[in-house]
């Protein structure tokens, strides 16, 4: 415990209690966490030389913080939340099990945006609504309004009334494929309102939202939707700008997602420029410049967790340094995070908060020692690159466990990409912020000709950055898909990395190597194993078969949404591209290019490829599908030692059942006799069919239904 003071330890333990309390653990697990945290805290405080009574008092504070975070940080609907109407049946038609038509009133919390799947649902948009009334009765909560068709842009702050249907959002088809319900839960909403008529009741003055909208609109008008959207994101952050999905994905694959998310990087650029301009002025003027930069950044980017963290830390360090004191970065970071989670414990579940806190901790704890080590080991003519190498490398390593947990992948060339784009990114960030101030301060008559002249080089620099990012994405193995490991493996990864990241733990590095090897080998065994993943959502079905790091897919539908969900499924399990995909949908769609990008070989009747005939097979190493003789539309899919019968239609089921030649004689179960792992049905069986299946199958049985669900199984790789 040397070199670690008691205030820092107490702050670190308090932060741990708040973070753990905000996680959706079961109550029994939360009690265990509280006991372990209390015992650990008391032991560590006594080791620091604190008296037994004082250490006990400090340790007893942690369960209180844990309970506070658990009560205020766990997502739960209030007593007047709109979802209570669905649960209680106040607006529910029990005969049809469909919500009744109603009207909803409230205030918009965001501008309306086109739906992500707007290619398939024309003229649709959505916005988050703070609900005041439903059918004239007071209600309090949040609901997502979806308008079909979308009449016009609805702006943040407007009071509106919408007529339509109140519904519960759909759950994701798999735990690794979150759906609208999981997305809305992060925003404190548990319901959706599908509307077809909207009335604007009030248009209040919203200067901050108007300023954000004006900056984004002007920059996109000047530089186009892509370059202008990038410039707007450098000022406002991705949360305030509707960027093209392919551009967002390109920055993520290149390891540059932080450039699009308002964070400490953008504030450091803005604050550094402001202090540089005011460096010769008296201290009150310097503080005024800095305060203007901090407040404007917070107002334009919005109170996102990463923005709030950056502003609080920046203002604290600035005041300490300007007052002649000396700040302790780690202490400032811990105090900032504890204060934020005391105010809003739910921020602990925010991915942006987690990544921002981890990256900043890395810069505070590891960047300095790593920079010194690189300066000693690099050749003399390369020592100037030590800071440029240390900062992105530290941020990448400290955030790697979080990237693997949340995304199941990590960018391979992130360090090189950051080195290549860093000068251009800093220049573009300063230029975009200058353009934003001009858009807000100058009148329209003077603004247009001036910006047309100024924005020309900036627009081309933004295009150059986009081209550079896209080029990096084309490099071999640009993104390493690791799959989503088990929590204990992630914990083992963190324990293995800590001795290499914290100088005080360097004597444990040999154990860190062992932990990293065990973690890597364990995840490799899972990825190399034989397995089937069966997922269904409403009428759509997907089967992902895996064998020794390879994968294939069978889908019942061939439309664009099915292909998009199939890509999410394959990437969630660590497969960048499939060996082959079989689409059982004969109806033509416009998603042919999507399926071709997903798999090396696509067998789809609606793309002009005839289905497999008896005697034909679709094969890749260890993975095979073939028609079953004399059984119409039925298939047998093999992945290593696992074999499944696929019966997509009731006719296929009848043919398979009749082929057995059942005559009432007691027989061995069919699945066992045929050596099958299971049978999959692409339809909802009747009670009679279900009874027959229970009697004559002995293995895994998947029955598709109206509700979303999934089943997965993995066999050992060895």
Beta bridge partners of 273: none
Whether the pLDDT of residue 394 is over 70: the answer is: yes
- Across all residues in the chain, what is the average pLDDT? 83
How do residues 679-698 score in pLDDT, each as one tens digit?
888 777 888 887 877 777 65
Render 577-626 in DSSP notation, one character per residue. SEEEEEE---S--S-HHHHHHHEEEEEEGGGTPPPPPTT--EEETTEEEE
The CATH code for residues 83-204 is: 2.40.50.140
CA dist 261 → 4, 235, 253, 391 (Å): 32, 9, 15, 18
Whether the pLDDT of residue 584 is over 50: the answer is: yes
The answer to whether the CB of 112 falls within 8 A of the CB of 127 is: yes
Distance CA 438, CA 446 (A): 10
How do residues 478-536 score in pLDDT, each as one tens digit?
999 998 998 899 999 999 999 999 888 888 999 999 999 999 999 999 888 888 888 88
Whether the pLDDT of residue 717 is over 70: the answer is: no
568 or 90, which is more confident?
A: 568
Q: Which helix (H) or strand (E) holds 715?
A: strand 709-715
Q: What ranges do the domains of the chain cover? A: 6-73, 83-204, 210-481, 487-526, 529-715
How do residues 206-260 score in pLDDT, each as one tens digit?
999 999 999 998 888 888 889 999 999 999 988 888 888 889 999 999 999 999 9
User: In the structure encoding, which two tokens stand for residue 358, read together?
Assistant: 């981890």
Whether the pLDDT of residue 632 is over 70: the answer is: no
Render 288-341 in DSSP notation, one character per residue. HHHHHHHHHHHHHH-S-HHHHHHHHHHHHHHHHHHTT----HHHHHHHHHHHHH
pLDDT of residue 701: 61
pLDDT of residue 16: 85
Q: Which DSSP symbol is given to 559?
A: S
Distance CA 453, CA 60 (A): 63
The CATH code for residues 529-715 is: 3.60.15
Start-to-end CA span in the chain (Å): 43
Closest to 14 (Cα-Cα) out of 339, 475, 465:
339
User: In the structure encoding, which two tokens stand for residue 211, read together?
Assistant: 């300023």
> What is the three-class DSSP state of 23?
coil
Q: Is 274 exposed, middle or buried (0-12, 13-18, 19+ CB in 10 A)?
A: buried
Q: Other CB atoms closer than 10 Å to residue 615's CB: what's the count?
A: 8
pLDDT of residue 100: 65
Distance CA 511, CA 274 (A): 46
The secondary structure of the chain in percent helix, strand, coil, rounded to multiples of 5, reads 55, 20, 30
Minimum mean pLDDT range among 54-68, 301-315, 652-666: 652-666
Closest to 496 (Cα-Cα) out of 526, 529, 477, 522:
522
Q: How confident is the model at residue 607 (pLDDT cuts 50, 70, 90)?
A: low
Residue length of the chain: 718
> Per-residue pLDDT averaged across 567-578, rounded?
92
Tokens 């005391």, residue?
A: 342
The answer to whether the CB of 464 falls within 8 A of the CB of 423 is: no
pLDDT of residue 445: 66
Q: Other CB atoms closer than 10 Å to residue 423's CB: what's the count?
A: 10
CA dist 283 → 279, 301, 449, 633 (Å): 9, 27, 37, 80
Whether the pLDDT of residue 130 is over 60: the answer is: yes
Distance CA 625, CA 643 (A): 10
> Per-residue pLDDT averaged across 195-213, rounded?
92
Q: How confident is the model at residue 629 (pLDDT cuts 50, 70, 90)?
A: low
The answer to whether the CB of 593 falls within 8 A of the CB of 572 is: no
% of the chain with per-residue pLDDT over 70: 87
pLDDT of residue 708: 38
Strands 578-583 and 599-604: parallel
Q: Is 350 exposed, middle or buried (0-12, 13-18, 19+ CB in 10 A)?
A: middle
Name the pTM for this structure. 0.87
User: In the structure encoding, which two tokens stand for residue 538, read together?
Assistant: 């409403």
Whether the pLDDT of residue 334 is over 70: the answer is: yes
């Amino acid at each position: 415990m040397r070199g670690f003071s008691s205030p820092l330890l107490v702050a670190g333990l308090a932060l741990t209690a708040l973070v753990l309390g905000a996680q959706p653990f079961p109550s029994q697990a939360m009690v265990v966490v509280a006991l372990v945290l209390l015992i650990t805290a008391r032991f560590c405080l006594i080791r620091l030389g604190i008296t037994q009574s004082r250490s006990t008092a400090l340790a007893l504070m942690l369960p209180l913080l844990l309970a506070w975070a658990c009560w205020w940080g766990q997502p739960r609907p209030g007593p007047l939340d709109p979802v209570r109407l669905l649960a209680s049946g106040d607006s529910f038609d029990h005969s049809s099990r469909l919500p009744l038509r109603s009207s909803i009133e409230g205030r918009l919390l965001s501008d309306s945006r086109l739906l992500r799947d707007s290619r398939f649902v024309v003229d649709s948009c959505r916005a988050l609504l703070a609900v005041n009334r439903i059918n004239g009765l007071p209600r309090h909560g949040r609901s997502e309004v979806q308008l079909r068709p979308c009449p016009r842009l609805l702006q943040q702050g407007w009071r509106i009334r919408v007529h339509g249907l109140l519904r519960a959002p759909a759950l994701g088809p798999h735990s690794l494929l979150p759906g609208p319900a999981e997305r809305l839960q992060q925003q404190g909403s548990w319901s959706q309102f599908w509307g077809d008529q909207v009335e604007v009741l009030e248009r209040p003055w919203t200067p901050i939202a108007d300023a954000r909208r004006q900056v984004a609109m002007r920059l996109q008008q000047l530089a186009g939707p892509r370059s202008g959207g990038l410039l707007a994101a450098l000022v406002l952050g991705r949360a305030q700008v509707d960027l093209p999905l392919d551009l967002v994905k390109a920055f993520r694959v290149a390891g540059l997602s932080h450039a699009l998310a308002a964070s400490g990087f953008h504030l450091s650029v803005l604050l550094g420029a402001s202090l540089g301009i005011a460096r010769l002025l008296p201290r009150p003027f310097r503080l005024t410049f800095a305060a203007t930069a901090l407040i404007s950044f917070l107002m334009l980017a919005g109170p996102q967790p990463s923005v709030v963290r950056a502003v609080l830390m920046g203002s604290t360090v600035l005041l300490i340094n300007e007052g002649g004191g000396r700040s302790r970065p780690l202490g400032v970071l811990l105090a900032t995070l504890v204060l934020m989670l005391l105010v809003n414990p739910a921020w602990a579940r925010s991915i942006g908060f987690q990544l921002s806190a981890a990256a900043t901790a890395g810069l505070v704890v590891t960047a300095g020692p790593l920079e010194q080590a690189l300066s000693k080991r690099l050749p003399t003519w390369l020592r100037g690159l030590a800071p440029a190498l240390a900062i992105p490398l530290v941020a990448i390593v400290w955030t790697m466990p979080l990237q693997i947990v949340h995304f199941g992948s990590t960018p391979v060339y992130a360090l090189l990409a950051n080195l290549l784009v860093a000068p251009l990114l800093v220049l573009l960030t300063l230029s975009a912020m200058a353009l934003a101030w001009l858009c807000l301060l100058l009148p329209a008559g003077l603004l247009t000709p001036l910006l047309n002249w100024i924005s020309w080089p900036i627009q081309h620099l933004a295009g150059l950055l986009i081209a550079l990012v896209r080029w990096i994405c084309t490099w071999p193995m640009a993104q390493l898909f690791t799959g989503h490991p088990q929590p204990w493996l992630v914990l083992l990864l963190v324990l293995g990395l800590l001795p290499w990241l914290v100088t005080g733990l360097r004597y444990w590095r040999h154990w860190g190597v062992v932990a990293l090897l065990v973690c890597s080998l364990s995840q490799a065994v899972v990825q190399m194993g034989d397995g089937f993943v069966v997922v269904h959502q409403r009428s759509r079905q997907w089967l992902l078969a895996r064998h020794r790091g390879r994968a294939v897919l069978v889908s019942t539908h061939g439309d664009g949404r099915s292909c998009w969900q199939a890509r999410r499924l394959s990437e969630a399990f660590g497969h960048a591209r499939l060996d082959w995909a079989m689409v059982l949908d004969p109806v033509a769609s416009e998603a042919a290019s999507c399926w071709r990008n997903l798999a090396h070989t696509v067998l789809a009747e609606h793309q002009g490829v005839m289905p497999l005939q008896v005697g034909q097979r679709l094969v890749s190493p260890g993975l095979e599908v073939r028609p079953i003789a004399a059984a119409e539309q039925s298939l047998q899919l093999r992945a290593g030692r696992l074999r499944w019968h696929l019966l997509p239609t009731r006719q296929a089921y009848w043919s398979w059942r009749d082929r057995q030649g059942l005559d009432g004689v007691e027989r061995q179960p069919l699945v066992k006799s045929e050596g099958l792992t299971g049978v999959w049905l692409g339809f909802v069986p009747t009670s009679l069919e279900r009874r027959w299946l229970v009697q004559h199958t002995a293995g895994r049985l998947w029955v598709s239904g109206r509700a979303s669900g999934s089943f997965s199984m993995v066999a050992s790789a060895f």
